[in-house]
Amino acid sequence: MLANHHQMSLQHIKSHQLLNSHQLIIGCQTKKRAINSFYILIFTLISLFFSSASFSACKMPDDLPTGDLGIIIERMDGSVLIINNSSLSVLCRVEGLGDLSHASAVFSRDARYAFVFGRDGGLTKIDLLKGNIAKRIMQSGNSIGGAISQDGQYIAVSNYEPGGVNIFTMDDLSLVANIPALYGESNMASKTVGLVDAPGNQFIFSLYDGNEIWQVQMDKKTGKPDADIKKYHNAGKAPYDALISSNGRYYIAGLFGEDGLSLIDLWHPEKGITKILSHYGKGQKKLPVYKMPHLEGWAIAGKHAFLPAVGLHEVLVVDTGTWKEVTRIKVHSQPVFAMASPDDRQIWVNFAFPDNNTLQVIDSESFKIIKQFQPGKGILHMEFTPRSEHVWVSVRDIDEIIIYDTQTLEEIKRLPAKKPSGIFFTSRAHRIGL
């Protein structure tokens, strides 16, 4: 879920809290469902316009493979770059994707299509081989990311407005299900966050306003979600983001309203929610919290998880067997992402404003910082090539992507990009939670 979110997550959450304080409480579930139906009707009409629009295509190479492709979000222009991470080149720019200020993406199983989730509620399917928009719909008023199912047949999107989760078919983005996130005796509608795919063709997400976590099972026979949604109540105050471990076992939600994290062991869901790392959060920090770290910015390397500390100049090292803290690593400033290379050998860390011009590299075995870079202001995201040889870094304020060799720790190339943020390679198509 995404680089610009780290620049603006506090402002987004505070603004949504202010809006919630003025919401009317509607006690009738029927009225809530009617409002959701109205939203769906409006967005369907808007989508018909986008579906009928013609989108120009780039001139793409013939016989293009998909395994080494990817996209880069150009958040200010509503465009994405299609790139090749073997030739270290930009192949094409695709425009017309709307508001990408908080954009993320997932890929089809064959790695041909990218599905981009825009902040404006847009869901765009990009054909990487043709270099064009295959389909674009407006599915909500304000969305916050999405996921693709284990079997690759369904795309789910979590929404701030009107809340809930929408599920679509992968091939033509037709609506499969609208799941209103209603909670409490008054059936209030909640914003949904932390949406991930999970083994067993499931989607899991958190209710920011409802303090719950929901687990949705897709029925292979009907192509619809099971009516019986598993709901974990008392998940902690205001879960603002979540991750799933790379093996699909643990779902972990971060809490904006209290310290600590909420963990569900999906191998043993009967155990319910376990609170871990009770000290993790804002707490009584002397430093201002410039950014709540995104949980997908955690790194898990070997038996350790590396967590950006909240409001501190530290990375926490946690034993994933016990989920207890092992040690802390002093770093340059407040960390945002701590990302592990696929070979688990290195942890690359970027930082919050005003120190977002710096990168540090941690050795995952010794826990020591082995390299520091200062390539420019606005370092927003990092993405490793599938076998760890390179890492691509988006540097927004200088309009460049910088590529580093992870063995020599030297810069090897720069590519121009318009205010780049998220970088997503098609290798994600074969990984849980990405």
Tell me the pLDDT tens digit for each residue of 91-123: 999 999 999 988 999 999 999 999 999 999 999
Would you tell me how many other CB atoms lie within 10 Å of the CB of residue 33? 15
Is residue 110 one of the residues assigned to a domain? yes
Is 259 within a domain? yes
> What is the mean predicted confidence (pLDDT) over 153-179?
96
Considering the domain boundaries, does residue 153 fall inside one? yes
Check pLDDT > 70 for residue 52. Answer: no
Structure confidence at residue 340 as a pLDDT band (50, 70, 90): very high
What is the count of structural domains for the chain? 1
Q: Is the pLDDT of residue 50 over 80?
A: no
Distance, CA of 272 to CA of 260 (rounded, Å): 16
First vs last C-alpha separation in the chain:
9
Residue 7: predicted pLDDT = 40
Torsion sign over Cα 124, 128, 131, 135? negative
Is the omega angle on the peptide bond into residue 162 within 30 degrees of 0, that is, cis? yes
CB-based contacts of 242, cutoff 8 Å, min separation 6:
193, 194, 196, 204, 205, 206, 213, 251, 252, 253, 254, 295
Residue type, 22: H
Asked if pLDDT for residue 264 goes beyond 50, the answer is yes
Domain assignment of residue 11, yes or no: yes
Tokens of 146: 């999405």
* Better pLDDT: 272 or 302: 272
DSSP 47: H
pLDDT at position 57, please? 65
Residue 38 inside a domain? The answer is yes
- Supply the pLDDT for residue 63: 81
Domain membership of residue 9 (yes or no) is yes
For tokens 């082995």, what's the residue? 370
pLDDT at residue 51 tops 80: no
Give residue 176's Cα distance to chain centre: 22
Q: Report d(CA 120, CA 98) in Å as an integer.
A: 7
Burial class (CB in 10 A: 0-12, 13-18, 19+), 323: middle
CATH number of residue 264's parent domain? 2.140.10.20
Give tens-digit pLDDT for 390-430.
999 999 999 999 999 999 999 999 999 999 999 999 999 99
pLDDT in the model for residue 220: 86
- pLDDT score at 19: 36
Rounded to whole angstroms, how far apart are CA atoms 9 and 250? 24
- CB 377, CB 338: distance < 8 Å: no
- Quote the CA–CA distance of 170 and 113 in Å, as a whole number: 9
353 located within any domain: no
The whole domain housing 226 covers 1-55+96-276
Is the pLDDT confidence value at 24 over 50? no
CA–CA distance from 297 to each of 6, 64, 339 (Å)? Answer: 10, 31, 6
Give residue 40's pLDDT band: very low, low, confident or very high (50, 70, 90).
very low
Residues 6+ away with beta carbon under 8 Å from 66: 110, 111, 112, 128, 129, 426
CA geometry: angle 182, 183, 186, nearest 5 deg: 95
DSSP state string for 356-411: TT-EEEEETTT--EEEEE---S-EEEEEE-TTSSEEEEEEGGGTEEEEEETTTTEE
Question: Is 233 a domain residue?
Answer: yes
Does 25 score more than 70 pLDDT?
A: no
Residue % of the chain over a pLDDT of 90: 72
Q: What per-residue confidence (pLDDT) applies to 311? A: 80
Which pLDDT value is given to residue 393?
98
Most confident of 29-38, 67-76, 303-312: 67-76
Contact 218, 203 (CB under 8 A): yes
pLDDT of residue 15: 41
Lowest mean pLDDT, pick from 34-38, 67-71, 116-120, 211-215: 34-38
Nearest-CA neighbor of 217 among 177, 159, 173?
A: 177
pTM: 0.86
pLDDT at 65: 86
Per-range mean pLDDT, top range of 184-188, 254-258, 285-289? 184-188
Would you state the pLDDT for residue 21? 39
Least confident of 12-21, 106-115, 244-253, 304-313: 12-21
Whole-number average pLDDT of the chain: 86
Query: Cis (ω within 30 of 0) for the bond into 354?
Result: yes
- Which of the two residues, 87 and 11, has the higher pLDDT score? 87
